[in-house]
């Protein structure tokens, strides 16, 4: 079975062909991602109208490139999975209307997908990513069939979300906590802006942090010890702003120190709460997802704390390129949560939640 995934929720235009092989494992046949990030870097963030215009420009070329390996897409593709939310309304509409058009022409069902579940299901994508996780794994004794076990705790850390979701199965879940203000990615991006780094600043902060002095800048850990699973990062941003205001010249050294201090604060809070929830709910698996899940310190610190805590859980994280927005994860989610809907019932929902 082959699913064509389409993802246009924000500033990436992506199409992907994902196949379920005989072993039941998902295999990416082709994954194309075009990004309008360079354009948004010039405006210091995303202007929704610009993002939607770029989606329109890239959508058809991206699909054409993706389906090229197929001799006859019309017969080879079994279904179309498309992100219906959450995201920017103009951007989402481009993907959804394209999916509907293809569905009519090719006479294929559409599976509407929640982008947030897409980030979670990026973990089911490739055998290769599982192998990477095996190496990273704290107790490296994977289950015999190497399959992801429930109950699982999903940590979604993206530009707009910092959520802990407890998954009892593919169809039953409970949100344990969310951010009350800025999301983790947003915190990286806003702090980056304060120290003169381009949008999106997460990867650049991680790079600069490598040269930072661990004793130079320490920032608060908002809500680390609160008795819930919520997060808050706006106070951290304010603390960095206060520091930056006192600095006359932002040298590379200072930028590195602040990058390290901020990265450590964000990672510390997120990993502390994730391990606490994993312990409380006795989960078998921790699944990372979202752009910030590409952060090496986050991955390493989570493993470190898991080992210290002696928890018997496996940590999975998608390949780094599949942490940020892509259509392969949308197709992957569709395989497990495949509820097709009639065209007239499929609409975009910018505020869609779990
Ligand atoms: O999941 P994503 O691609 O888009 C949303 O759905 O929001 O996440 C983008 C976010 C940005 O805020 C970016 O700064 C952050 O992920 N990000 C990182 C890293 N790579 C991307 N943050 C920290 N470290 C990274 N290596
Ligand atoms: Zn995303």
Cβ of 86 less than 6 Å from ligand 1: no
Tokens of 235: 């106070």
**Mean local confidence (pLDDT), 112-133:** 79
With a pLDDT cut of 90, the percent of the chain lying above it is 85
pLDDT value of residue 312: 93
Peptide bond into 87 cis (omega under 30): no
What whole-number distance in Å separates Cα of residue 217 and Cα of residue 126? 39
pLDDT value of residue 36: 76
**Mean local confidence (pLDDT), 314-338:** 95
Phi, psi of 122 (to 5 degrees): -60, -25
**Mean local confidence (pLDDT), 130-134:** 49
Closest CA to 209 of 265, 269, 257, 244: 257
pLDDT value of residue 295: 97
Closest Cα to atom 12 of ligand 1: 185
Q: Which atom of ligand 1 is nearest to the CA of 325?
A: 3
Q: Which atom of ligand 1 is nearest to the CA of 289?
A: 1
Cβ of 87 less than 6 Å from ligand 1: no
Distance between Cα 146 and ligand 2 center (Å): 26
pLDDT value of residue 143: 39
Mean pLDDT for the chain? 92
- Give the C-alpha distances (Å, rounded to integers) separating 275 from 246, 282, 324: 36, 10, 23
Neighbours of 285 (CB within 10 A): 20
Distance between Cα 204 and ligand 1 center (Å): 11
pLDDT value of residue 104: 97
With a pLDDT cut of 70, the percent of the chain lying above it is 94
Cβ of 290 less than 6 Å from ligand 1: yes
Q: 275-313: per-residue pLDDT in tens?
A: 999 999 999 999 999 999 999 999 999 999 999 999 999
Q: 46-97: per-residue pLDDT in tens?
A: 788 888 999 999 999 999 999 999 999 999 999 999 999 999 999 999 999 9
Distance between Cα 286 and ligand 2 center (Å): 18
Neighbouring residues of 3: CB distance < 8 A, sequence distance ≥ 6? 17, 18, 19, 77, 78, 79, 80, 81, 111, 331, 334, 335
Cβ of 163 less than 6 Å from ligand 1: no
Q: Give helix 234-245 / helix 252-280 axis angle, nearest 10°.
A: 160
What whole-number distance in Å separates Cα of residue 206 and Cα of residue 259? 7
- CA torsion sign, 291 to 43 to 10 to 29? negative
Q: Which atom of ligand 1 is nearest to the CA of 186?
A: 12
Which is more confident, 44 or 23? 23
- Note the ligand closest to the C-alpha atom of 290: 1
pLDDT value of residue 24: 80
- Note the ligand closest to the C-alpha atom of 192: 1
126 — pLDDT class (breaks 50, 70, 90): low
Least confident window among 82-96, 122-136, 325-339: 122-136
Closest CA to 45 of 98, 88, 107: 88
Q: 237-265: per-residue pLDDT in tens?
A: 999 999 999 999 999 999 999 999 999 99
**Mean local confidence (pLDDT), 104-128:** 91
Taking the alpha carbons at both ends of the chain, their separation in whole angstroms is 26
Distance between Cα 158 and ligand 1 center (Å): 5
Tokens of 292: 């910030």
Peptide bond into 86 cis (omega under 30): yes
Closest Cα to atom 16 of ligand 1: 291
* Ligand 1 mutation target, pool 13, 298, 324, 329, most atoms within 8 A of CB: 324
Distance between Cα 17 and ligand 1 center (Å): 23
Which is more confident, 309 or 131? 309
**Mean local confidence (pLDDT), 151-167:** 97
- CA torsion sign, 12 to 3 to 66 to 154? positive
Is residue 219 within 8 A of residue 209, CB to CB? The reply is no
Q: 268-277: per-residue pLDDT in tens?
A: 999 999 999 9
* Ligand 1 mutation target, pool 44, 121, 200, most atoms within 8 A of CB: 200
Q: 203-242: per-residue pLDDT in tens?
A: 999 999 999 999 999 999 999 999 999 999 999 999 999 9
**Mean local confidence (pLDDT), 26-53:** 85
What whole-number distance in Å separates Cα of residue 34 and Cα of residue 346? 25
Which is more confident, 141 or 201? 201
Confidence check: pLDDT of 138 > 70: no
pLDDT value of residue 146: 57
- Note the ligand closest to the C-alpha atom of 115: 2
């Amino acid at each position: 079975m082959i699913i064509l995934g389409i993802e246009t929720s924000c500033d990436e235009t992506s199409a992907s062909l994902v196949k379920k092989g005989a072993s039941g494992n998902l295999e990416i046949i082709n994954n194309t991602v075009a990004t309008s990030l360079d354009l948004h870097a010039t405006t210091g963030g995303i202007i929704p109208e610009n993002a939607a215009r770029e989606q329109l420009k890239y959508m058809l070329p991206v699909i054409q490139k993706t389906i090229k390996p197929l001799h006859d897409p019309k017969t080879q593709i079994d279904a179309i999975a498309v992100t219906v939310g959450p995201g920017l309304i103009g951007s989402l509409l481009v993907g959804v209307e394209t999916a509907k058009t293809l569905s009519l022409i090719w006479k294929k069902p559409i599976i509407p997908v929640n982008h947030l579940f897409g980030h979670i299901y990026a973990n089911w994508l490739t055998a290769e990513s599982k192998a990477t996780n095996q190496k990273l794994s704290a107790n490296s004794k994977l289950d015999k069939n190497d399959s992801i076990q429930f109950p699982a705790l999903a940590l979604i850390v993206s530009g707009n979300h910092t959520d802990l979701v407890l998954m009892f199965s593919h169809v039953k879940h409970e949100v344990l906590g969310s951010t009350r203000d800025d999301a983790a990615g947003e915190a990286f991006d806003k702090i980056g802006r304060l120290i003169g780094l381009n949008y999106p600043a997460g990867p650049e902060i991680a790079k600069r942090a490598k040269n930072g002095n661990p004793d130079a800048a320490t920032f608060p850990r908002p809500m680390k010890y609160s008795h819930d699973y919520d997060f808050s990062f706006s106070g951290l941003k304010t603390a960095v702003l206060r520091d930056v205001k006192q600095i006359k010249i932002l040298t590379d050294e200072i930028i590195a120190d602040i990058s390290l201090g901020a990265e450590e604060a964000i990672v510390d809070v997120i990993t502390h709460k994730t391990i606490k929830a994993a312990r409380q709910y006795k989960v078998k698996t921790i699944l990372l997802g979202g752009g910030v899940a590409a952060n090496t310190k986050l991955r390493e610190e989570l493993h470190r704390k898991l080992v210290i805590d002696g928890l018997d859980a496996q940590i999975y994280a998608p390949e780094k390129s599949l942490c940020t927005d892509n259509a392969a994860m949308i197709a992957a989610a569709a395989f497990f949560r495949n509820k097709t809907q009639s065209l007239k019932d499929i609409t975009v929902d910018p505020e869609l939640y779990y």
